[in-house]
Amino acid sequence: MTPILEVNDLTVTMKRPFRTLTALDRVTLTIGKGEVLGLVGESGAGKSLTGAAIVNLLVPPLRQTGGSIALAGRRIDTLSRDDMRKVRGREIGFIFQDPSTSLNPVLSIGHQLIETMMTHLPIGRDEARRRAIAWIDRIGIPEAERRLDQYPHEFSGGMRQRIVIALALCAEPSLVIADEPTTALDVSVQARVLQLLKDLHGETGVAMLLITHDLGVIAKMADRVAVLYTGRVVEIGPTSAILNSPHHHYTHGLMKATPTPNMQTQRLDAIPGSMPNLAAIPSGCSFHPRCPRSDATCRDHLPRLSGVESGFACWHPLSAGGTS
Amino acid sequence: MLRYFASRTFQAVIVLFIISLIGFALVANLGDPLAALLSPDATEAQRAELAASLNLNASFAERFLSFFGGLWRGDFGISYRTHEPVAHLIWDRLPATIELAFASLILTLVIGIPAGVHCGVHPKSMLSRAIMFSSIIGVTLPTFVAGILLILVFAVKLAWLPSFGRGGVVDLGFWKTGLLTASGWRALILPAITLSLFQVTFIIRMIRTQLLEVGQTEYIRFARARGLTESRVWYLHALKNTLLPVVTIIGLQLGNIIAFSVVTESVFAWPGVGLLFLQSIQSADIPVISIYLILIGAIFIIINLIVELTYPVIDPRVLRSR
Amino acid sequence: MSIATETLSHRNRAIQGLEWLWQSVRTAPGPSLAGLIALSLVLFAFVVPLVISSSPFDPANADLLNSLNPPFWSEGGSMVFPLGTDDQGRDLLTALAFGLRTSLIVGILSVIIGLVIGVSLGLISGFAGGAVDTIIMRAADVQLAYPALLLAMIIDGAMRQALGTSRDTNTAIAIVVVSIGISFWVQYARTIRASVLVEREQDYVAAARVTGRSRLAIIALHILPNIMAPVLVIATINLAIAIITEATLSFLGIGIPLTQPSLGTLIRNGNNFLQSGEWWIVAWPCAVLMLFVFSVNVFGDHLRDVFNPRLRTRR
């Protein structure tokens, strides 16, 4: 079966006067039809960048300089500007992080929904309006017909994010990229928004690239997970497998730093140090300065990912149970 | 909604009141109206009579109230220089200034808005670069220097257009217009260009900056991520968000146009209110200066009020956030 | 992108430093050149009057035999008066230096006046809050109804009447300085007030207060350093506006008296000869005015972008 999304050796760079900084280094991942792939890592690891690169919305000076991106078997990174525009929204939906800034403040939400559908679907204004009302209803906002003509500032943060989700899904895409969809929300509404996302995923069968730094979200939502560090995929595989027995020390570190409901007695361990910035990515395995198991090999040689569907990039992988 | 309108209007009236107070303070404290209005050999009786008719012996508050009341009735006092009623002097000159101001406002908007939008949407195109480069010159060129240069080229060297005056004027009874004669139109060209030069460049730069800023926002990125067409993204999503500051600035511009009409009218000997104001300053004609001060303030406040009252139409957030 | 400065090696820091330098040279050759031009003009204005001690505007120095000489390259011109002479036989090159000097002095003094008033009122407004704040900020709003030029004219007219005929040249210049300077305070006051309101809430200010530092010490130590950059930018751009305003006022005959050379009076004088073909008398001061204002604006714009791209004042 052809995966819905195939990202192969995706490389994104930023040109500086004396050198070129690499923001994404040969990122490879696939998402099957209807599958949810979680993408985790610390901020600055390149998670959002991966999402932006897939829909070709990189902000200069960032630029894709290598690799390929294919959607349902068709390459989309070589499309013309206008053809790529038709992919966005119609085939790949995008959920932005912060609902307080991602909705246009001077256009009613009905307007934004209707124009999105009319841009992509062969329907008239009346039909689009009818569907917009249905969408508002579907995302759990009461009095849909009245609220259609209201402006973003008249909705709560959680409602706005649900509207953003509706906007991303209203043109019936086969893949949606959700970039930290709950990070900017109050903890109290995060669960509801996540549940909505899960419900809609179940109803529409849309595949999802779920970008987050929260392993709890991953555990709840994702079929598979990819771990990103300094612009490289360091580990990828089925969620349960990775969460139960990570192979990469970075994944392990991330998990130890995440609180879970049934671990009241255990203490949280932060990974020592912090992620280096792009201008100073260490040689070899870029995690080696922070890794408890690093040696000369790690410092000098870059480990390759052991498998595309499921694999890790580490010279001294952890075996099951968490020991090396 | 109604509360917003009411509070805005109330504030405007307060400011107008304060400006009138300042204007009156000028008249009340500067210069001696008796010396200015009477001949040096006037008798004591004449002096007393004038002092009584001008209410000079009353308290400051009483005099201000009668002055303020007079403003509403169109009684603006008497000029020290010409001994004519100020209202008459100003009314006589007003049409010239208004025609000039509106000609340059139209010129400003017709050139400035499209050019500004182009520069904001395509900041890197050759045309944008050319526009931005010439706009620096426009900002640098003082109004009077621009006027001098235009006269030098189009009036002195080429002798195409007149360098001073209003040309043929038709008196409509209530309004003396220069727009009904060919010479009137010809005379309007150079002053209108001079006056709009700075405003055009200002508006271009303003709209461009606004658009560039809005272009970086998340909601524009999200609009792109939804696959909306570039023209929809720019001309609807971005432009509608820049409207608020742009409308404000255009309102403020009218105030600037009137101020700089003093300079333009002086360079082109244009017989408007600005020239009258200049002559009044040179001869320290305080009543005219103070009325001009109040008048400009009033015009500005009214424009500002109109602009603010249109805000809720442009941006639904306004009613809530204030 | 990310943090982790401790992992930056010295080599990397050196490269980043180099990059920064290269970037400013490469991206801002114009502003650097503009700054250089402005500086040279300032030097020209202040050095020439030192060398030539007697002003060409002293009536005793009138040289009617050499009046209305064209620039050196035209017929009848000579290198004695490289830029030509005016109707009184004044050498225009010298006159320009004297004129620019007056304009600069007026400009700088009026910027200082606006700055001092504006910074003080901004600090008071920000710290006092309440009614004081409201009054100061309303006053700022009211003043904004009047463009700087108009305000300067009105103040000039009022002062003329107030001071009557006792005006001498220095009083006239002082009036111009004050009337231009007053219009500038609003911008500083608003910027400073906004900055104070932000800083006031910062932890370190609260901490300083708890440790018993006086308000004045807090202002001097924490707030002033933070507002240096915006104030410097506004001042630079105001200098250009002040010089244009001075020239405009003087050109209109209500600024500097004709007996005193300034860019404005030189242009006003030269304008009388425009129709008769002696273009150079008006052209030189216009050119110097434009060159100086242009350079200062370009430089100021660049400063603004460097310090803070979002500094533009908004309503």
Residue C283: how many other CB atoms lie within 10 Å: 20
Cβ–Cβ contact C7 with A under 8 A: yes
Chain B residues with CB inside 8 Å of C289's CB? 142, 145
CA-based nearest residue in chain B for residue C291: B140
CA-based nearest residue in chain A for residue B240: A106
Query: Could you tell me the pLDDT band of residue C310, with boundaries at 50, 70 and 90?
Result: very low
Chain A residues with CB inside 8 Å of C8's CB? 277, 279-280
Taking residues C10-22, what's their average pLDDT? Answer: 65
**DSSP alpha helices (H): ranges in C164-252?**
169-182, 185-200, 203-210, 215-218, 224-251
pLDDT at C228 over 80: no
Q: Which of A94, A99, A92 is nearest to A182 (CA)?
A: A99
Q: In sequence order, what E strands does A102-230 have?
A: 175-179, 207-211, 224-229
pLDDT at B230 over 80: yes
CA A124 – CA A114 distance, rounded (Å): 9
CA A293 – CA C191 distance, rounded (Å): 54
Cis peptide before A17 (omega within 30 of 0): no
CA-based nearest residue in chain A for residue C11: A280
Cβ–Cβ contact A281 with C under 8 A: no
Cβ–Cβ contact B122 with A under 8 A: no
**Average pLDDT over chain C, rounded to whole?**
77
How far away is chain B from the Cα of A276, in angstroms, using its nearest Cα? 27
Which of A88, A164, A171 is facing B224, going by the closest CB pair? A88
Query: Could you tell me the pLDDT band of residue B11, with boundaries at 50, 70 and 90?
Result: confident
DSSP A301: -
**Among all chains, which residue has been given the structure tokens 């508002």?**
A136
Chains that touch C (3 or more CB pairs under 8 A): A, B
Q: Which of A153-167, A299-313, B180-194, C248-262 has the highest mean pLDDT?
A: A153-167
B239: which 2 tokens?
């432009």
Chain A residues with CB inside 8 Å of C10's CB? none
pLDDT of residue A315: 86
Check CB contact under 8 Å for C161 and B31: yes
How far away is chain C from the Cα of B106, in angstroms, using its nearest Cα? 20
Classify burial at B313, counting beta carbons within 10 Å of its beta carbon; exposed 0-12, middle 13-18, buried 19 or more.
exposed
Cβ–Cβ contact C12 with A under 8 A: yes
Q: Which of B101, B90, B54 is nearest to B291 (CA)?
A: B90
DSSP A154: G
- β-strand A224-229 against A207-211: which pairing, if any? unpaired
Q: Describe chain A by its helix, strand, coil percentages, rounded to 5.
A: 35, 20, 45
* C234-286 pLDDT tens trace: 888 889 889 998 999 888 888 788 778 888 888 888 888 777 777 778 888 88
Check CB contact under 8 Å for A276 and C19: no
Tally the C-alpha atoms within 13 A of residue A294's C-alpha that lie toward its C-beta: 19
Check CB contact under 8 Å for C4 and A17: no
Task: State the distance between the two ends of chain B, measured CA to CA, in whole angstroms.
Answer: 11
Which residues are within 8 A (CB) of A76 and not within 5 positions of it... i.e. 6 or more apart? A56, A69, A70, A84, A87
Query: Could you tell me the pLDDT band of residue C312, with boundaries at 50, 70 and 90?
Result: very low
How far away is chain A from the Cα of B227, in angstroms, using its nearest Cα? 5
Task: State the distance between the two ends of chain A, measured CA to CA, in whole angstroms.
Answer: 36
Q: Which of A32, A250, A260 is nearest to A242 (CA)?
A: A250
pLDDT > 70: percent of chain B: 98
Q: Which of A18, A22, A59 is best to mutate for the C interface (most C CBs within 10 A)?
A: A18
**Average pLDDT over chain A, rounded to whole?**
87
Cβ–Cβ contact A174 with B under 8 A: no
Long-range residue pairs from A64-68, CB within 8 A, at least 24 positions apart, any chain? A64/A10, A64/A11, A64/A12, A65/A11, A65/A12, A65/A13, A66/A9, A66/A10, A66/A11, A66/A26, A67/A7, A67/A8, A67/A9, A67/A10, A67/A11, A67/A26, A67/A27, A67/A28, A68/A6, A68/A7, A68/A8, A68/A9, A68/A10
Cβ–Cβ contact A13 with B under 8 A: no
* C86-144 pLDDT tens trace: 777 677 788 888 889 989 999 999 999 999 999 899 888 888 778 888 888 888 877 77
pLDDT at C167 over 70: no
Taking residues A223-244, what's their average pLDDT? Answer: 89
For A10-25, give one letter per residue: b (16+ CB within 10 A) or e. Answer: bbbbbebeeeebbbbb
Check CB contact under 8 Å for B136 and C298: yes
CA B277 – CA A272 distance, rounded (Å): 74
Which of B222, B228, B314 is facing A96, going by the closest CB pair? B222
Taking a contact as any Cβ pair under 8 Å apart, which residues of chain A between 202 and 261 contact chain B?
A: none
Classify burial at C50, counting beta carbons within 10 Å of its beta carbon; exposed 0-12, middle 13-18, buried 19 or more.
exposed
Check CB contact under 8 Å for C2 and A289: no
CA-based nearest residue in chain A for residue B225: A88
Question: Assign residue A56 a region: left if phi > 0, alpha if psi is -120 to 50, beta otherwise?
Answer: left
CA-based nearest residue in chain A for residue C23: A17
pLDDT at C190 over 70: yes
Query: Could you tell me the pLDDT band of residue C24, with boundaries at 50, 70 and 90?
Result: low
Q: In sequence order, what E strands does A212-310 have?
A: 224-229, 232-238
Taking residues A92-119, what's their average pLDDT? Answer: 92
pLDDT of residue C196: 79
CA-based nearest residue in chain C for residue A279: C12
Strand arrangement of the beta sheet that strand A36-40 belongs to: A92-95, A175-179, A207-211, A36-40, A224-229, A232-238, A311-312
* B130-180 pLDDT tens trace: 888 888 777 778 888 888 888 888 888 788 888 888 877 788 777 878 777
Beta bridge partners of A227: A40, A235
Which residues are within 8 A (CB) of B269 and not within 5 positions of it... i.e. 6 or more apart? B164, B165, B275
pLDDT of residue A55: 92
pTM above 0.90, yes or no: no
Taking residues A72-82, what's their average pLDDT? Answer: 90
Chain B residues with CB inside 8 Å of C312's CB? 209
Classify burial at A296, counting beta carbons within 10 Å of its beta carbon; exposed 0-12, middle 13-18, buried 19 or more.
exposed
Check CB contact under 8 Å for B226 and A102: no
Which of A310-314, B237-241, C175-179 has the lowest average pLDDT?
A310-314
Query: Could you tell me the pLDDT band of residue C2, with boundaries at 50, 70 and 90?
Result: very low
Which H or E element spans position A30? Answer: strand A20-31
Chain A residues with CB inside 8 Å of C14's CB? none
Which of A17, A275, A280 is facing C8, going by the closest CB pair? A280
- β-strand A224-229 against A232-238: which pairing, if any? antiparallel
Beta bridge partners of A179: A211
pLDDT of residue A70: 92
Which of C146, C160, C293 is facing B140, going by the closest CB pair? C293
Cβ–Cβ contact A106 with B under 8 A: yes
Distance of CA C244 to the CA centre of its chain: 9
Q: Which of A256, A203, A236, A202 is nearest to A308 (CA)?
A: A236
**DSSP alpha helices (H): ranges in chain B?**
2-29, 33-37, 44-53, 60-73, 86-121, 126-140, 143-150, 182-215, 218-225, 230-232, 239-267, 273-282, 286-314, 318-321
